[in-house]
Amino acid sequence: MPFDLLLKVFSASKMPFDLLKMPFDLLLKVFSASKMPFDLLKMPFDLLLKVFSASKMPFDLLKPQFAFSFK
């Protein structure tokens, strides 16, 4: 997902845009509420790393349960 589109999602949600302070589950809720596709393959990798760093969760794309959590 392009970064400018990501900014629009957060602007539309009327929530503060700060990946370093936002819990990962809340970030997922923002994307769900936006009714826009959340496609990991289209998101810039550096931004994806920031999201996972902020989430403080294990970062393992190979685990199936992780992939299903975005659907």
Residue 7 binned pLDDT confidence (cut-offs 50, 70, 90): low
Tally of domains in the chain: 1
Residue range 28-37: average pLDDT?
A: 57
Q: How far apart are CA 60 and CA 52, in angstroms?
A: 10
Amino acid (one-letter) located at 57 = M
**The domain containing residue 55 runs over which residues?**
3-68
- Output the pLDDT for position 61: 45
- Output the pLDDT for position 33: 58
User: pLDDT tens digits, residue range 43-71?
Assistant: 565 666 666 555 555 444 444 444 444 54
